[in-house]
Chain A
Amino acid sequence: MKKTMTKLLSLVLAAMLMLSTLAFTGCQKAMPDFEMPEGGYDGSEVTITFYHTMGQSLQSVLNSAIEYFNTLYPNIHIEHTQIGGYDDVRNQISTELTAQRQPNIAYCYPDHVALYNVADAVVTLDQFISSTQEITLADGSTTILGLTQEQVDDFVDGYWNEGKSFGDGKMYALPLSKSTELLFYNKTFFTEHNLSVPTTWEEMEAVCRQIKEIDPTCIPLGYDSEANWFITLCQQYGSPYTSLDDSGHFLFDNQTNIDFVKELRTWHKDGLVTTQEIYGAYTSGLFTAQGEGEVKSYMSIGSSGGTVHQLPTQDGDGKYPFEVGIASIPQVNPEKPAAISQGPSLCIFQNENPQEVIASWLFMKFLTTDLAFQADFSMASGYVPVIESAKNDPFYENFLSKADGFDNLAALGASVCLAQKDAYFTSPAFNGSTVAREQVGALLQKCLTENWSDAELDAKIKETFRDAITECEYRS
Chain B
Amino acid sequence: MTEHVSMQEKNLQQVSAHQRIVKVAVQVLLYAFLFLMALTVLFPFYWMLISSVKTLAEYQLQIPTFFPRKIVFFNYVEAFQTANLGRLFLNTLYVGVVSTLLSLVITVLSAFAFARLEFKGKNALFAALLATMMIPGELFTITNYITVDTFGWMETFTALIVPFLVSVFYIYLLRQNFMQIPNELYLAAKVDGTSDLKYLWKVMIPLALPTLISITILKMMGAWNSYIWPRLVANKPEMRLITNGLRNAFTDANTQQTNIPVQMAAVAIVSFPLFLVFIFLRKYIMKGVSRSGIKG
Do chains A and B interact in one complex? Answer: yes
Which residues of A are in contact with B by a Cβ distance under 8 Å? Answer: 1, 5, 19, 22-23, 26-27, 53-56, 58, 81-86, 88, 92, 95-96, 98-99, 101, 281-282, 285, 289, 291, 294-295, 303, 305-306, 309, 313, 381-383
A58 engages B235 (CB within 8 Å): no
Contacts A84-B247, A84-B253; A285 near B60 (Cβ below 8 A): yes
A98-B142, A291-B61 given; A19·B257 CB < 8 A: no
Q: Is the CB of B255 within 8 A of A23?
A: no
* B251 nearest in chain A by CB position: A85
Question: Is B196 an interface position by the 8 A CB rule?
Answer: no
Q: Which residues of A contact B57 (CB under 8 A)?
A: 313
Residues in B whose Cβ lies below 8 Å from that of A55: 248, 252-254
Q: A178 CB to closest chain B CB, in angstroms?
A: 12
Q: List 26 A-B contacts (CB under 8 A).
A: A1-B120, A23-B143, A23-B146, A53-B253, A53-B254, A55-B252, A56-B81, A58-B254, A81-B235, A81-B237, A82-B248, A82-B253, A85-B253, A88-B231, A92-B235, A95-B142, A95-B232, A96-B232, A98-B146, A99-B145, A303-B255, A305-B254, A306-B255, A306-B256, A382-B255, A383-B254
Taking CB atoms, residues of chain A closer than 8 Å to B61 are 291
* Cα(A73)–Cα(B237), bound, Å: 24
Given the known interface contacts A55-B248, A82-B253, A306-B257, the answer about A27 and B146 at a Cβ–Cβ threshold of 8 Å is: yes
| Given A23-B143, A83-B231, A382-B254, A5 and B120 contact (CB-CB distance below 8 Å) | yes
Q: How large is the interface on B (under 10, 10 to 19, 20 to 34, 35 or more residues)?
A: 20 to 34
Task: Check B62 against A289 for contact (C-beta < 8 Å).
Answer: yes
A451 and B146 alpha carbons, distance in the complex (Å): 49
- Considering the complex, give the chain B residue whose CB is closest to the CB of A343: B254
User: Digit string of B228-256 for contact with A (CB within 8 Å is 1, else 0)?
Assistant: 00011001110000000001100111111
Check B235–A23 contact: CB distance below 8 A. Answer: no
CB distance from A320 to the nearest CB of B (A): 14
Residues in chain A near residue B120, CB distance under 8 A: 1, 5
| Given A82-B248, A84-B247, A291-B62, CB of A92 within 8 Å of CB of B253 | no
Question: B256 — which chain A residues lie within 8 A by C-beta?
Answer: 85, 303, 306
With A and B bound together, what is the CA distance between A5 and B122 in angstroms? 12
Instruction: Give the segment of B21-29, B37-45, B147-155 that binds chain A.
Output: B147-155
- B123 in the interface (beta carbon within 8 A): no
The residues in B between 249 and 288 inclusive whose CB is less than 8 angstroms from any CB of A are 251-257
B203 to chain A, nearest CB (A): 27
Bound Cα distance A64, B284 (Å): 52
Q: Are B232 and A92 in contact (CB under 8 A)?
A: yes
Q: Find out whether the CB atom of B253 lies under 8 angstroms from the CB atom of A98.
A: no
- Say whether B82 faces chain A, with CB atoms less than 8 Å apart: yes
Contacts of A1 in B (CB 8 A): 120
- Kindly list chain B residues whose C-beta atoms are within 8 Å of the C-beta of A309: 255, 257
Determine the distance from Cα of A83 to Cα of B253 in the docked complex, in whole angstroms.
Answer: 10
User: Chain B contacts of A305 at CB under 8 A?
Assistant: 254-255
The 7 closest A-B pairs by CB, nearest first: A53-B253, A99-B149, A306-B255, A22-B150, A294-B62, A381-B254, A26-B146
Chain A proximity of B141: nearest CB distance (Å) = 8
Measured in the bound complex, the distance between the Cα atoms of B61 and A81 in whole Å is 35
Give the docked Cα–Cα distance between A455 and B294 (Å).
61
In the complex the two chains form, what is the Cα distance from A53 to B142 in whole Å?
A: 23
**Interface set, chain B 156-173, CB cutoff 8 A to A:** none
Q: CA of A88 to CA of B255 in the docked complex: distance in angstroms?
A: 16
CA gap between A81 and B235 in the complex, in Å:
8
Interface residues of B in 108-158 (CB under 8 A from A): 120, 141-143, 145-147, 149-150, 154
Closest to B60 in A: A285
Minimal beta-carbon separation of A4 from chain B (angstroms): 10
| Interface hub of B146, B150, B253 (most chain A Cβ within 10 A) | B253
What would 18 more interface pairs be, CB under 8 Å, given A26-B146, A84-B231? A23-B143, A23-B150, A26-B150, A54-B254, A56-B81, A56-B248, A58-B254, A85-B256, A86-B253, A95-B141, A95-B145, A98-B145, A99-B145, A99-B146, A101-B154, A289-B62, A291-B61, A309-B255
Q: Determine the distance from Cα of A26 to Cα of B231 in the docked complex, in whole angstroms.
A: 21
Report Cα–Cα, A92/B234, bound state, in Å: 12
Q: Of B142, B231, B253, which one neighbours A54 at CB under 8 angstroms? A: B253
C-alpha spacing A187/B273, complex, angstroms: 50
Alpha-carbon distance between A381 and B254 when the two chains are bound, in angstroms: 7
Of residues 179 through 235 on chain B, the ones whose CB sits less than 8 Å from some CB of chain A are 231-232, 235
Question: What's the minimum C-beta distance from B293 to chain A, rounded to whole angstroms?
Answer: 33
Q: Contact at B235–A83, with CB atoms within 8 Å?
A: yes
| B237 CB contacts on chain A under 8 angstroms | 81
Beta-carbon nearest neighbor of B227 in chain A: A84
CA distance A99 to B145 in the complex (A): 8
Q: Which residues of B contact A56 (CB under 8 A)?
A: 81-82, 248
Determine how close the nearest CB of chain B comes to the CB of A112; give it in whole angstroms.
15
How far, in angstroms, from A266 to B255 measured CA to CA in the complex? 30
The answer to whether A92 and B257 touch across the interface, beta carbons within 8 angstroms, is no
Point out the residues of chain B lying under 8 angstroms from A88, CB to CB.
231
A23 touches B147 (CB 8 A): yes
- Could you tell me the distance in whole angstroms from the C-beta of B265 to the nearest C-beta in chain A? 16
List A contacts of B236 (CB < 8 A).
81
Please measure, in the bound complex, the distance between the C-alpha atom of A1 and the C-alpha atom of B147, giving whole angstroms: 32
A26→B145 contact, CB < 8 A: no
CB distance from A96 to the nearest CB of B (A): 8
